[in-house]
Structure 1
Amino acid sequence: MSLDKISIFAGKYSFLSNDHICLVYHDGYLFNSVTHAFQAARAQDQETKLRISKIHDFDIMYEIAETIDDPINWSKSRSKIMEVLIRDKFRRNPQLRQRLSETTPAIIQNTYDDTENRNNLYWGIVDGRGENIIGKILMKIRDDITNDVELDKWILMSLNLQTEKNELPKIILHEYRNERKIGRIFLEDKPYYTIGYALDCDLKFSHDSIENYHSILANDKELGVVLIDLNTRNGTFVKGNRLKKSIATPLEEDDVINFGEKNETFKVEIYMEHLRREYEREINEVDRELKILDMMQNPQANPEEVKQLLDTGKVSQIKVENISRKACNEDDIKEFFKLLGEIVSVYVPRKRYEAYVKFKSYKAATAAVGWNGIKFHGRRLTITYDKSRQRSRSRSRSNS
């Protein structure tokens, strides 16, 4: 027989209360409950947050909380912060997440007896009235668990994800086994990637020590590229150090990652030079358009010069130099660059460690030029627009 309504967060359902003792992470600190974390979120200084993070006793915590002034626009931001904290509570504590799921389909109401505290009418129900914000958050998370999107919602709310595609760094994971390189994984078009055994993971690893959802690799606007262990039994390691559970750890160039007891290791390469080049390209594009406007308004302008400016920036072919001898072949080069867009042809001159790649879209060629300096089989490529594209096009061989 199913329960229609849960209105008292006590006994069997005490785990629903924000006062339930369990670790909750926020703003760089681990707290002993959602209530502790919420009061610390009101504080503007790190010293107060740190003090609250070290306190277990609720009375002492509330004494400190009474000295804190609400930040500007707190009434507008508090419900979102509350949801972030409650989501972290259930993501960080799998047993509680399971128990919350088992309350389906009951209506969850956060009922208060204290009629004098006006906040109670906002967060819960008093004498049959109130907005029941906490109850609604709990039911929303429960629905997300049922719909298998709870992890994604936690990531989206816990991190300040970089979602602009042209601002994402290029990440390459170089895979090694017994110190021998056996492959590489390119990650460059998503704000975050799931890693684990589950079929829907972005990076799927089959090993007894790897859990369904083992880790998250994400692009955070403030922290950069981060790695998160998802409360795993066998851990996620960076440079041999086990990561703290469900806390974002920034990665650096050449960091070595291990997942569980998997034999393979992954060396991190983070390539961001293309972002600077893309910024410079956008500035040059604006300058080009301004010149075109000036010339078109000038009756004395040379039509050929105007046409040349209009054609600039629409080059769809690139020249790739400094290719290693081992990789200087059409198949490897096409496989490498096809991530950027459809390739029309690849031409590799004999006895020269260079290649000409023609894309269907000039935007893909622009993106490829942004890769200038990227490592390919151990060597950094020199990638430029093909200035002699008419000549090379006539000699290229179709790869479509």
Structure 2
Amino acid sequence: MSGRSKEELLAILSGHDVGVPSVKLSAEELKAKFSKIDHFSGVYQFVSNDFLSSVEYNGVFPLPSASHAILLAKYGITYIEVLMEHADAPVAAAKELEAAQELPEWKEKRRLLLERILRDKFRRNQEIRAQLCDTGDRQIEWANSQDSYLGTVRGHGQNHMGRILMQIRQDVKDGLEMEAWLYFNHHMEREASKRPRIILHEQKEGEASKEYDLLQIADKRAGEGGERERRAFFLLGKLKECDVQPLHPSVSRRHACIFVSAKGVQIFDMASSAGTFKNGERLKASFYPVPIMSGDEIRLGASTRKYIVEIDMSSVLTHLQNKKRTAMREQKDIQRAVNNPLEEISHKAKQQRTV
């Protein structure tokens, strides 16, 4: 037995010298202090940006780690050879680039760029995504000696990196992580009215053709699940949650995903074991979207079943035409108000009387 009192032991745990007057920490503060993850090493090495795990940034893939992606975002594509020379040593890559000039937009956009990089890191690696989720609700804080914006220095700072990691963790728990990745990293279209109708025509020799209208399937799923709006992406795989459910043994549970972005309709493989094929060619990387167009042929795994893509833009064009007409009408009203204020006042008064 040490003979120390409970108060002395609490003082030691609080980081204070015994006998020195100090502010006592509450039970909640003690819990936060000793459950906080602030050193990204050992069992928490996976949280570190230096942890070797493939990342895509601005079309460059694979980058060996989040640190390599951050250096690329910070200094530009000019230094890609330096990064690849130190593929297994992100610290050495950073040291070699110490004298390089930062890109003008880095400082202003670094939080957004970091979030994109970290979201991509955890989306591509299911194992570390599960490990992040297993940290529960513990505070994550990047304790370092220099950067008090992305982390903390001697306990003080904005800790944006820790906040991003905790938000990704929450998104994983809520089932929203992939959707957030699609919005942040691949600019998935947010407005339903701007998403075209996508139809997959299933064909297999000796069988009648089958049609999958993905928007109709999504609407039906949203209605049955009591959701406010349909999901913005479409899944192909064996699970019940998938919009198209091929039963071939080589098809994975979540095999591929189709979504609409600013670049048009795109598809990516979801780390399936047997691959996704576009026009006979296997997609080269998982979670790396490629464009698809009307007439393209999609095949999953070793299945001989083909899906011919049809993209119907008519509803989007109607929406854009309506927006254009509305804008022209508003412009006309503004011009009338500028040219003849009295006439505009009379026009508004007439509208109010008819309401």
Specify if TM > 0.5: yes
Residue matched to 2:271: 231
Output the CA distance in 1 between the equivalents of 2:98 and 2:290: 29
CA distance in structure 2 between the partners assigned to 1:181 and 1:138 by the alignment: 48
Q: Partner residue of 2:104?
A: 71
1:88 to 114, 120, 128: 120
8 Å contact 2:194–2:319 — kept in the other structure? Answer: no
Residue aligned with 2:308, SS: strand
Name the CA distance, whole Å, in 2 between partners of 1:267 and 1:256. Answer: 5
1:378-389 mapped onto 2 (5 Å cutoff): none
Aligned amino acid, residue 236 of structure 1? T
Aligned in 2, Cα 1:272/1:7: closer, same or farther, shift over 3 Å? same
Distance in 1 (CA, whole Å) between partners of 2:190 and 2:178 is 17
Matches within 5 A, 1:26-37: 26-30=57-61, 31-37=63-69
Match of 1:214 in 2: 255
How far residue 206 of structure 1 moved from its aligned partner, in angstroms, is 3.8
Which secondary structure state, in structure 1, belongs to the residue aligned with residue 149 of structure 2? helix
Preserved contact between residue 231 and residue 246 of structure 1 (Cα < 8 Å): yes
Task: Determine helix, strand or coil for the equivalent of 2:267.
Answer: strand
Matched, 1:102 2:129: no
Q: Give matches, 1:108-187, under 5 Å.
A: 108-112=140-144, 114=145, 117=146, 120-178=147-205, 180-187=207-214
Q: Report the alpha carbon displacement of residue 162 of structure 1 after superposing the two structures with TM.
A: 2.2
Name the aligned partner's letter for residue 250 of structure 1: P
What residue in structure 2 maps to residue 388 of structure 1?
none
Distance 1:50 1:264, change over 3 A: farther
User: For the residues of structure 1 that align with 2:165 and 2:328, how far apart are their CA atoms?
Assistant: 53
Higher mean C-alpha displacement, 87-96 vs 162-171: 162-171
Residue 34 (structure 1) shift: 0.6
Identity %: 28
1:8 shift after superposition: 1.3
Aligned pair in 2 of structure 1 residues 183, 37: CA closer, same or farther (>3 Å)?
A: same
TM-score by length of 2: 0.70
Question: What is the number of equivalent residue pairs in this alignment?
Answer: 283
8 A Cα contact 1:40 1:65, kept in partner:
no
Q: How has the CA–CA distance of structure 1 residues 125 and 282 changed in structure 2, closer, same or farther, with 3 Å as cutoff?
A: closer
* DSSP 3-state at the match of 1:86: helix
State the 1:109 CA deviation: 2.0
Instruction: Quote the offset at 1:126 in angstroms.
Output: 2.0
SS at match of 2:202: strand
Any idea what SS the aligned residue of 1:122 has?
coil
Change (3 A) 1:196 1:225: same
1:192 alignment partner in structure 2 = 233
Q: CA deviation at 1:76?
A: 3.9
Helix, strand or coil for the counterpart of 1:269?
Answer: strand
Partners of 1:135 and 1:258 in 2: CA distance: 40
SS in 1 for 2:153: coil
CA pair 50-246 structure 1, distance change in 2 beyond 3 A? farther
Relative to structure 1, is the Cα distance of residues 170 and 13 closer, same or farther in structure 2, using a 3 angstrom cutoff?
Answer: same
Cα distance, 1:283–1:90 mapped onto 2, change above 3 Å:
closer
Q: Given that residues 121 and 131 in structure 1 are in contact (C-alpha distance below 8 angstroms), is that contact kept between their aligned partners in structure 2?
A: yes
1:41-56 → structure 2 map (5 Å cutoff): 41-43=73-75, 46-49=77-80, 52=83, 55-56=86-87
Equivalent AA in structure 2 for residue 266 of structure 1: Y
Q: 1:25 is matched by which residue type in structure 2? A: E
Deviation at 1:188?
4.3
Q: Secondary structure of the residue that 1:19 maps to in structure 2? A: coil
- For structure 2, the residue ranges without an aligned partner over 5 or more in a row are 1-33, 217-230, 337-355
Can you list the C-alpha shifts for 1:163-212, whole angstroms capped at 9, x where unaligned? 33333222221101127552111134864212222322333344443333
Query: How many Å separate the matches in 2 of 1:147 and 1:273?
Result: 34
Letter of the 1:217 partner, please give it.
I
Q: Secondary structure at the match of 1:6?
A: coil
The structure in which a higher percent of residues are helix is: 2
- Structure 2 distance, partners of 1:145, 1:152, is 10
- Superposition CA RMSD, Å: 3.0
CA distance 1:279–1:136, change in 2 (3 Å) = closer
Aligned partner of residue 45 in structure 2, secondary structure:
helix
2: distance between equivalents of 1:287 and 1:82?
Answer: 40
Q: Confirm whether residue 248 of structure 1 aligns to residue 289 of structure 2.
A: yes
Q: How many Å apart are 1:107 and its aligned residue?
A: 2.2
CA distance in 2, matches of 1:233, 1:188: 27
